[in-house]
């Protein structure tokens, strides 16, 4: 879980960087797709993935659980 969480956080950082710079639109699209895929793989809701609201609970510096959205999706 630690590795996937670290990868997700790293990708989110890159996504923000590419969005802020306005450069590298193809890389931005690729990174965004990877975030979507990894977010689903970890178990986040579609709302959390879309809004990039990823949260996890840590204990002793290690991820102990992923905090998954309990709200039903808004249609």
- Return all residues near 49 (Cβ < 8 A) that are at least 6 apart: 35, 36, 39, 40
Tens of pLDDT, residue by residue over 18-70, are 999 999 999 999 999 999 999 999 999 999 999 999 999 999 989 999 998 87
pLDDT at 75: 52
Instruction: Give the residue extent of every domain in the chain.
Output: 2-66
Contact partners, residue 27, CB within 8 Å, separation at least 6:
14, 18
Strand partners for 56: 66
Model confidence at 71, pLDDT cuts 50, 70, 90, reads: low
User: Taking the model in full, what pTM does it have?
Assistant: 0.85
Q: Of 58, 43, 69, 52, which is closest to residue 13 (Cα–Cα)?
A: 52
């Amino acid at each position: 879980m630690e590795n996937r969480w670290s990868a997700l956080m790293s990708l989110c950082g890159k996504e923000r960087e590419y969005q802020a710079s306005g450069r590298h639109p193809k890389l931005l699209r690729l990174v965004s797709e990877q975030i979507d895929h990894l977010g689903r793989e970890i178990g986040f809701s579609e709302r959390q993935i879309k809004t990039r609201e990823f949260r996890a609970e840590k204990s002793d510096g290690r991820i102990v659980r992923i905090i998954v959205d309990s709200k039903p999706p808004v249609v």
